[in-house]
Structure 1
Amino acid sequence: MNAYRMKPLAFPWPPLIYGAALAVAFLLQAYFPLAASETDSLIATVAGSVLILTAIVLDVWAMRTLLDCHTTILPNRCSTCLVTSGPYRFTRNPIYLGYTLATAGIGLVMLNPWCLVTAIVASGLTSIVAIKREELHLLSRFGIDFERYCNGTTRWI
């Protein structure tokens, strides 16, 4: 394998990507407001709260699973083992999925439809900037075991 594949991300980009997505969504709402129906605000608030709570539970569960397996949480550190338990049984990127759900949930709670758009853009950017690189890193470290894991587990949902 190429030496560059042995290195994970040089910088933990995903939290910054999702933070920027939220900032852009609020700027877009300030300059190009999309009207949200007041009659649906209770439904949006409840749905957004459920998404945010789901995101928090998913992120904490994923981080706890990584810690229990004695590997790093940070995407710019080398993985010491391939984690396939906990939420990693269902998705290869539960933390990033949690970020996406939280961004969409914040948009619903704040009645800011731009958050839904920027959550989709942020997930695409995360796939390009972080996930592709992390998968090369995991493939170089764990080889066929990682390939088997990829064949049985989806990247997002």
Structure 2
Amino acid sequence: MIRRLAGLPQVWLVLFALAGAAAGRLLPFELPPVIRGAGFLLLLAGGALMLWAAAVMRAARTSFMPGQSPDALVTGGPFRFSRNPIYLGDVIALAGLMLALSAPAGLVLVPAFALLLERRFIRHEEKLVAAAIGPAYDRYRARVRRWL
């Protein structure tokens, strides 16, 4: 069960969010309301990006579940500027949450979270897409960056 949970990026997002909130409690620093508001907007933007990307994948009738081989190459919507908009949304949401919670110490975990996503999920998924899609994915990968 733990192995299955560890295979879900959402679980890692929650763990990093909890760790970031704890860091904010250990090293408290009250942010101005405008920064906290901007954090809330980032949190919403990250969530919206994730939903948009999932909707585009669903419309293309391909899986958006981590580790599953895709049925189609999706290059529209947010996939025009990022090969991994759902993971990008996760990172943006985590950064926004740390600001919204007035826990700037937790921001140090954001790059670590991005690195974990890349090494644990993205690299493996890119291999699956390359095997399933072939040269079309190579052309897409050459023109669209992994993150932004």
Q: Same fold, TM exceeding 0.5?
A: yes
What does residue 90 of structure 2 align with?
99
User: 1:10: how far off?
Assistant: 10
What does residue 62 of structure 2 align with?
71
For residues 113-152 of structure 1, the aligned pairs below 5 Å read 113-152=104-143
Does structure 2 conserve the Cα–Cα contact (< 8 Å) formed by 1:18 and 1:119?
no
1:36 to 25, 30, 40: 30
What does residue 10 of structure 2 align with?
15
Gaps of 5+ in 2: none
The CA deviation string for residues 110-151 of structure 1, in whole angstroms up to 9 with x for no partner, is 100133211211111100000000001111111111111011
Task: Report the aligned-residue RMSD.
Answer: 1.8
Instruction: For 2:141 and 2:33, locate their aligned partners in 1 and report how far apart those are by CA, in whole Å.
Output: 39
Instruction: For 1:109 and 1:11, locate their aligned partners in 2 and report how far apart those are by CA, in whole Å.
Output: 26
The CA deviation string for residues 2-52 of structure 1, in whole angstroms up to 9 with x for no partner, is xxxxxxx9964321221111111122233x314234xxx212122112211
Instruction: For 1:73 and 1:11, locate their aligned partners in 2 and report how far apart those are by CA, in whole Å.
Output: 17
What does residue 6 of structure 1 align with?
none
Gaps of 5+ in 1: 1-8
TM-score (norm: length of structure 2): 0.90
Larger Rg: 1
Instruction: Pick which of 139-148 and 42-51 moved more.
Output: 42-51
Runs of 4+ with >4 A deviation: none
TM-score (norm: length of structure 1): 0.85
What does residue 26 of structure 1 align with?
21
Instruction: Pick which of 133-142 and 49-58 moved more.
Output: 49-58
Sequence identity percentage: 28
User: 1:89: how far off?
Assistant: 0.6
User: 1:109: how far off?
Assistant: 0.8
- Structure 1 counterpart SS, 2:64: coil
